[in-house]
Structure 1
Amino acid sequence: MNVSKSNFLGLFLLGLSLAVGISIGGYFIGQTMYNAKVALNTAEAKGLAEREVQADRAEWRVSFSATGRTRADVPNLYTQAEGTQQVIIDLLKASGFTDNEIATDALSYSFREFRNNEQIVTDQDHTISGSVSVSTDKVRLVGAARAKMSRLIADGHNILSGQPVYRFTRLNEIKPEMLREATKNARLAANEFAANAGVKVGGIRSARQGGFNIRDAGEEYGDTRKIEKMVRVVTTIDFYLEK
């Protein structure tokens, strides 16, 4: 087969163009894949935010009872229990609590018999009991009022002062700011990693928010016994890394 010089030159130039084109195209494809690979490199970092807060609600229950040995004592026991109930209410009001913050439940009656080995009744307990509850935002008054209850015990009243429950209920008010702080701290941690690796921190690829945790200040467990509390949240964020 005879091929003229002009045809040969044309074929040569065409082949050269294809080779150059493929080479250039391969470069851009390779560079694109490289850039994509770099862009997908990520670093996971955790960010912590903490806030010291004070409880804004308190619940407190004071229980009382009057006990007698015979059923004939029951009317007097009711009168005695009602008197103790009123004494507790008076003390709470004198301590700064209002009627709307104080609640009482109905007095209840219970009866027990004690028998010997021959199943003969040897003793009885007849008890009238009740309680007075406080629900308030005056959290600082609760401790002082509770201390005064000991005077009623010294006066002969059968009283059991329960452990106050202190709660922080305004978590939603501080959530946004704490999440921003946790995210900022996560980026700072990622920047430390990136600086050591010779890369830069880019945008956020994904984020996972841990639950908000409320604990009594200085305690590992429990969140209702102290007025002072610590709120804590940890976010886990994947950042893109850029060259």
Structure 2
Amino acid sequence: MKQHPFAAGLIAISIVVGLWLLAMALPDAVREYRSFDRTVTVKGLAEQEVEANIVIWPIRFSVAGNEQQAVYQALQNNADKIRAFLLLNGVDEESLTLAPPAMQDRHAQTYGRDRPPFRFSAQQTLTVYSTNVAKVRSAMGQLLELGKQGITLEDSSYRTDYLFTGLNEIKPEMVEQATQNARKVAEKFAADSNSQLGKIKTASQGQFSISSRDKNSPHIKKVRVVSTVVYYLAD
């Protein structure tokens, strides 16, 4: 069927006008698209100091002598004295665990003039596992009393562990703080670049870390988390 010349001209004019409108709108669309592509990535730090709520304190003591049975008996006597000392200082009986003793025959390991004066040496460890950190630390400060009773103790301070298990209770607050700190950094960047801060594009929470505040205060823990947030920027 043959198309009317007027209709064909009208279609051509409509196409031209449509292309012209598209060309006029295209730069704005491109600018708007690019504005969504402008982002800034920032990190927000949150730190908090907390008290450890669990202490694991191994008390290692030793005895030496030439009679095996006498050494075992002396070891048992020392264990009883240490247990009584801890109970007197407010440590619960349920917190105490006594490991089996370890005995060495020194003469079986050496020969001739190098033999030590005492043949047998025995060690044993009484471990305190307690949630009453303050009481245990107080008892630590009284260890001199055990020395006065003739008990030979090994230095176990470097093997004492302090734990914090309340991370879930403080997680939400710390994540919120880290996110707020990240936003402050992003707002400063946007102001310095003559931009406006937009919505969050992506956000990720870093791993929480727990460490001693310093070597002299292992019972005080520093909890730390870093959040990474990506914001859109607009003119």
TM range (shorter): 0.7 to 0.9
The change in CA–CA distance for 1:121 and 1:31 in structure 2 (over 3 A counts) is: closer
Where do 4+ consecutive residues of structure 1 move more than 6 Å? none
Q: Secondary structure at the match of 2:197?
A: strand
**Distance (whole Å) between structure 1 residues aligned to residue 83 and residue 167 of structure 2:** 32
| Structure 1 equivalent of residue 81 of structure 2 | 87
Gap runs ≥5 in structure 1: 1-6
- Give matches, 1:125-136, under 5 Å: 125-136=119-130
| Structure 1 equivalent of residue 190 of structure 2 | 194
Question: Does the 8 Å contact 2:44/2:180 carry over to 1?
Answer: yes
Q: Secondary structure at the match of 2:231?
A: strand
**Distance (whole Å) between structure 2 residues aligned to residue 61 and residue 177 of structure 1:** 35
**Distance (whole Å) between structure 1 residues aligned to residue 105 and residue 161 of structure 2:** 31
The change in CA–CA distance for 1:97 and 1:21 in structure 2 (over 3 A counts) is: same
Which of 216, 219, 225 lines up with 2:212 in the alignment? Answer: 216
TM-score when normalising by structure 1: 0.84
Question: Does the 8 Å contact 2:91/2:136 carry over to 1?
Answer: no
Which of 221, 229, 233 lines up with 1:237 in the alignment? Answer: 229
Query: Could you tell me how far 1:26 is from its partner in structure 2?
Result: 2.0
Q: Which amino acid aligns with 1:59?
A: I
Q: Secondary structure at the match of 1:176?
A: helix
Paired residue total: 227
**Distance (whole Å) between structure 2 residues aligned to residue 161 and residue 153 of structure 1:** 12
Question: Does the 8 Å contact 2:43/2:228 carry over to 1?
Answer: yes
Which of 7, 23, 26 lines up with 1:26 in the alignment? Answer: 23
The change in CA–CA distance for 1:240 and 1:121 in structure 2 (over 3 A counts) is: closer
| Structure 2 equivalent of residue 226 of structure 1 | 218
Which of 72, 75, 79 lines up with 2:69 in the alignment? Answer: 75
| Structure 2 equivalent of residue 112 of structure 1 | 106
| Structure 1 equivalent of residue 39 of structure 2 | 42
Identity of aligned residues (%): 28
| Structure 1 equivalent of residue 166 of structure 2 | 170
Query: Could you tell me how far 1:51 is from its partner in structure 2?
Result: 1.0
Query: Could you tell me how far 1:156 is from its partner in structure 2?
Result: 1.5
Query: Could you tell me how far 1:161 is from its partner in structure 2?
Result: 4.5
Structure number with larger C-alpha Rg: 1
Q: Once the two structures are superposed, what CA deviation does each residue of 1:50-89 show, in whole Å capped at 9, x if it has no partner?
A: 1111111101011111111x3xx11111111111000000
| Structure 1 equivalent of residue 136 of structure 2 | 142
Q: Secondary structure at the match of 1:91?
A: helix
**Distance (whole Å) between structure 2 residues aligned to residue 189 and residue 75 of structure 1:** 70
TM-score when normalising by structure 2: 0.87
Query: Could you tell me how far 1:147 is from its partner in structure 2?
Result: 2.1
| Structure 2 equivalent of residue 4 of structure 1 | none
Gap runs ≥5 in structure 2: none
**Distance (whole Å) between structure 2 residues aligned to residue 78 and residue 57 of structure 1:** 32
**Distance (whole Å) between structure 2 residues aligned to residue 109 and residue 59 of structure 1:** 24
**Distance (whole Å) between structure 1 residues aligned to residue 198 and residue 12 of structure 2:** 43
Once superposed, what is the RMSD of the aligned Cα atoms? Answer: 2.4
